[in-house]
Amino acid sequence: MTAPRILRRRPLNQLLIIGATLTVIVTTIVRAGAAPRAAPDPLAAMLAEDWSDVIRDAVAERVGTLGSAACATLAGYAAAQDPRSREHAVRALDIAGCDALEDYQPFFADRAPWVVNAVVDAVAERRIAASWPFVLAHVDDRRRLVSDDGSWTIEDAAHRALRRLTGQPIPFDPDDPPAARDRAAAAWRGWFAAHAGEPPPAWLESGLAAARAALMGGDPAGRMAALETLALSDARGLATLRDALLRAPGEIEARLVCTPEEPPRVTETVPCTLVLRNAASRRIPMALGDAGIVLAEMATPPPDRAGKGSRHDGGGSSGARGKGSAARPPATAPPAERPPTAADLHDRFIDLAPGASTTWPLNAGPVATAGRYEARATVRDLGAALPGPADGRPEPIVATTVMRFEQ
């Protein structure tokens, strides 16, 4: 028979120590069995959202707190499942100023179109010359993207990126038929086959020389490619572009035509046409922004001249304002115009042959009161706003005509 186990009473302090030890052991076991709950990643949530200016600013602020770890952190989102998160991670890399090839390489194998477009834009913006194999691989990628900013293809973005990286004015028109665009893609592949081993500064130097030569020639496609490439260039390229856009007084004639079928009433809008004609014997390139019309009520004619003239004047004129125009001079000088960016200049070039014209449809009116008005049409000349000496700027593009509005 087994002897019975004898339970001995322990002192109180020993019992307290044992109890505390058991509590620690049980707590440890419970904690070990429960998986720790990870804190939510605020940056991941922001990258997954539809971007607005507010979200973009919040991402920039959040990335700024990461300091030197920002680029590596954002590159890690190349593994995100949501393509929108991956696209926004690439755009955040650009915002953060990440300009090393390895920052973008994790996204090079991505096939999602918006991600590809974001990478093409970012490596071009950062002038990462070593990224050219990735961009070249998409030089005939004709997937189309549509957003609130418009519609374009990855192919178009890739051509712009290669021009910015190399400075080479290889002609490309996204509106050309596929066969012509195939030839443009082949031209890039041929160029890199011959020059990939050269240092990038040599690319830019030869590209600048090629652009200058194209602008001295008469081939419209080559001239347009040179203008578009210089707009993406560095300070030397922009100086060359500004020189190319200079013109002598009178080389461009501006005329505003407003010919309503009958005198318009004050509540009506009158269709007008602004006509710009090359009056020179050479081709005239221009980079033009938006056009608009301002109406200024004219002073009442003297009594002895009242009633003379037609009920509305639909002719056009160019140059400075005529006598008798209304009015109050501006209280302050207009603010200095900021230099245009590459985005401002994109798709803004025209290259008029001698005698050729371009037109803008514009609207004049309505007005507050009946009377005679001077209609003054202007076009923002982006070339005149490029950095450079003020005395070398081309004359403003202005055209005026007189209109009469009736009650």
Q: Give the predicted TM-score (pTM) of the model.
A: 0.81
In this predicted structure, what is the pLDDT of residue 332? 44
Q: How confident is the model at residue 261 (pLDDT cuts 50, 70, 90)?
A: confident
Please give the average per-residue pLDDT across 179-188, as a whole number: 98
At 298-335, the pLDDT tens digits run 987 656 544 443 334 444 444 333 333 333 334 444 45
32 has pLDDT over 90: no
In angstroms, the CA 325 to CA 387 distance is 33
The SS3 call for residue 256 is: strand
Q: Residue 87 pLDDT > 90, yes or no? A: yes
Across the range 65-71, mean pLDDT stands at 95
Question: In 10 A of CB 219, how many CB atoms?
Answer: 11
What's the pLDDT at 41?
79
All domains of the chain, ordered by start, with CATH? 47-244 (1.25.10), 252-327+343-405 (2.60.40)
At 259, is the pLDDT very low, low, confident or very high (cuts 50, 70, 90)? confident
Cα–Cα distance for residue pair 222/214, rounded to 1 Å? 6
Which of the 8 DSSP states describes residue 389? -
Q: What is the pLDDT of residue 321?
A: 31
3-state secondary structure 208-274: HHHHHHHHHCCCHHHHHHHHHHHHCCCHHHHHHHHHHCCCCCCCEEEEEEECCCCCCECCCCEEEEE
Hey, how many other C-beta atoms are within 10 angstroms of the C-beta on 134? 21
Which of the listed ranges 10-14, 18-22, 50-54, 133-137 does the model predict with the highest average pLDDT?
A: 133-137
Extract the tokens encoding 72.
């590596």
**What separation in angstroms does the CA of 320 have from each of 325, 376, 395, 400?**
11, 10, 11, 8
d(CA 192, CA 196): 5
Q: What is the mean pLDDT of the chain?
A: 85
For the segment 346-372, what is each residue's pLDDT rounded down to a tens digit? Answer: 999 999 999 999 999 999 999 999 999
Q: What tokens appear for 257 in the block?
A: 């035509």
Percentage of residues in the chain having pLDDT higher than 90: 75
The average pLDDT across 372-380 equals 96
Confidence of residue 118 (pLDDT cuts 50, 70, 90): very high
Summarised one tens digit per residue, pLDDT across range 203-233 is: 999 999 999 999 999 999 999 999 999 999 9
Question: Which two tokens mark 50?
Answer: 């539809």
Please tell me the predicted confidence (pLDDT) of residue 304: 56
Residue type at 89 in one-letter notation: A
Average pLDDT (197-201) is 97
pLDDT number for residue 299: 83
Most confident of 10-19, 23-32, 247-256, 308-317: 247-256
* Average pLDDT score over residue span 99-114: 98
pLDDT value, residue 311 = 37
The predicted pLDDT at position 350 comes to: 97
